[in-house]
Amino acid sequence: MKTFYTTITGTYFRLYTDLIEEKTKHLLFWGLLSFTTKRIYRNETA
């Protein structure tokens, strides 16, 4: 039973870390994109 539980926990943990990694990449990408867009827009209007 203990090994079963460990396997389940390990799998969930791996999925969870993958999810966090994806979310972080996503946030970084969109943050960078919006930041660049704002800078370009500001330079255009200035």
User: Which element (helix H / strand E) includes 1?
Assistant: none
Please report which confidence band the pLDDT of residue 4 belongs to, taking 50, 70 and 90 as the band edges: confident
- For the cut 70, the answer to whether the pLDDT of residue 46 exceeds it is no
Compute the 3-state secondary structure of the chain and give helix, strand, coil in percent, each to the nearest 5.
Answer: 95, 0, 5
SS3 39: helix
Question: Which stretch of 4-8, 12-16, 17-21, 26-30 has the lowest confidence by average pLDDT?
Answer: 4-8
Q: Where are the beta strands (DSSP E) in the chain?
A: none
Note if the pTM is more than 0.75: no
- pLDDT (0 to 100) of residue 1: 67
Q: What is the per-residue pLDDT across 17-41, written as a single tens digit (0 to 9) for each? A: 999 999 999 999 999 999 999 998 8
